[in-house]
Chains A and B, each alone.
Chain A
């Protein structure tokens, strides 16, 4: 199933979306990663941009200042970073901000599953390393907050069109694609190891 979501996103919009679906996003997405999460959750600071019903992107982009113009920026290259780093903050982050779509790389854990289930939100994966594709889907950078954190950690407010492909990894029911895969991968790993052990008897 391929579907387009528009921000602001409602609970209803997420109702029929399941893990493994591919979706695209229209509207706004804000980059938000390690330190922004820390500031909100650990230091109790308020996020400088309202993301109620919105989307965040675990990403640290390369942004270029538009020469000769005040506060104008161009998105050069943007792709997802490892979402698991935000796991310890994400449940509370979802509760506090009302964010509906979290985009990143790789899976997230039980905290985020719970946050998604209780508050109706989803986590998606943008194919990592495909940062030029993502950058060309950013039509405009509309804001830049907490620039004191440096280029990767600044909150860049991006206006996007058909931003994706976004592969749903946690749905609003809390199902988790990566966790399901992990069970399968670990089973196969154990089988592979049994065979490998017979081939590495170098110390005799």
Chain B
């Protein structure tokens, strides 16, 4: 394949994948929502779960974004050091977002700060927002694409605590967000928590946590236990779908952690709404691909 042709193909596939994410929830989220709906007994909550399910079916049938807020596109890029198109990748991803915006269509969500002008393409200064990671000795490209709307981005908060406040301070910080901003962020939520040294690393990890499959557990047994304890605790509040009460509050709680400086413990929270539009695609060097989060879907 000629290089220009290959770059065109890669751009096209990323664009199609991006547009698709706005229309179909990943398999794990769909399964979790079904489970929550089946467990629900309050009439209002049941009505809302049924509306959600009907909406997702119609989105696929009519080929439309299931939620109008298709977010500011964010990507976690893990690129093999030997992936043949590594040099052009940043540009490819930006172009793909502009194409997906037109073809999807996606809502125009990139407003240039200070100039306060909507670019109309979902691209702009540092948009899409990209995180880069290198896969040594690999010729593949792994891409997580995430569409977080404004509503579920609003609860995003972080705080650097003094160790004296301990993990008690951490869990209070998390639960306070649930009953304030979390309520309006379209529960049942996926709650991402980062715990580490400084506010930036905690914030980053809290978003990484949202890229994990729903219900996956932290490798550290204590952190994994805290994930479970937080699920029980937040569920006991009974936010229900849309914060209008229900048996449960969350789709899951994921914690990512790093070592911390002895003088500080930082915690950050990012939440995903029930329409958690996250997708993972893996490209081989010949640009054949596998959809990790959306099995059986054709681009």
Which residues of A are in contact with B by a Cβ distance under 8 Å? 20, 22, 59-62, 64, 76-79, 81-84, 105-107, 125, 127-133, 135-136, 149-152, 165, 167, 177-178, 181-182, 184-186, 188-189, 191-193, 195-197, 199-203
Prevailing SS type, chain A contact patch: mixed
Q: What per-residue 1/0 map shows which CB atoms of B230-264 lie under 8 Å from chain A?
A: 10111011110111110000000000000000000
A82 to B245, CA, bound (A): 18
Residues of B within 8 A of A193 (CB): 171-172, 175, 233
Q: What per-residue 1/0 map shows which CB atoms of B168-197 lie under 8 Å from chain A?
A: 101110011011000111100000000000
A125 to B149, CA, bound (A): 18
* Those of B24-79 within 8 Å (CB) of chain A: 44, 47-48, 51-52, 54-55, 58-59, 62, 64-70
- Contact assessment for B226 and A192 in the assembled complex, using a CB-CB cutoff below 8 Å: no
Interchain residue pairs with CB less than 8 A apart (25): A76-B65, A77-B65, A77-B66, A77-B67, A106-B242, A107-B183, A127-B241, A127-B242, A128-B67, A129-B52, A129-B274, A131-B69, A132-B62, A133-B51, A150-B120, A152-B118, A178-B183, A185-B183, A185-B238, A189-B178, A192-B234, A192-B237, A193-B172, A193-B233, A196-B171
- Contact assessment for A128 and B242 in the assembled complex, using a CB-CB cutoff below 8 Å: yes
- Contact assessment for B184 and A127 in the assembled complex, using a CB-CB cutoff below 8 Å: no
Known: A82-B154, A167-B44, A200-B168. A135 touches B64 (CB 8 A): yes
Prevailing SS type, chain B contact patch: helix
Residues of A within 8 A of B109 (CB): 152
When C-beta atoms are compared, the residue in chain B nearest to A182 turns out to be B179
- Contact assessment for B51 and A165 in the assembled complex, using a CB-CB cutoff below 8 Å: yes
When C-beta atoms are compared, the residue in chain A nearest to B223 turns out to be A202
How many residues on B have C-beta within 8 angstroms of the other chain's C-beta atoms?
A: 63
- Contact assessment for A76 and B244 in the assembled complex, using a CB-CB cutoff below 8 Å: no
- Contact assessment for A131 and B239 in the assembled complex, using a CB-CB cutoff below 8 Å: no
Partner of A200, one of B48, B68, B226: B226
Residues of A within 8 A of B225 (CB): 199
Partner of B69, one of A79, A125, A127, A184: A79
Residues of B within 8 A of A76 (CB): 64-65, 68, 105
Residues of A within 8 A of B168 (CB): 196-197, 200
- Contact assessment for A81 and B69 in the assembled complex, using a CB-CB cutoff below 8 Å: yes
Partner of A178, one of B170, B186, B237, B243: B243
When C-beta atoms are compared, the residue in chain B nearest to A202 turns out to be B167
When C-beta atoms are compared, the residue in chain A nearest to B56 turns out to be A132
- Contact assessment for B68 and A127 in the assembled complex, using a CB-CB cutoff below 8 Å: no
Partner of B150, one of A77, A82, A106, A131: A82
- Give min CB distance, B211 to chain A, whole Å: 20
- Give min CB distance, B244 to chain A, whole Å: 6
Known: A62-B68, A77-B67, A131-B66. A202 touches B171 (CB 8 A): no
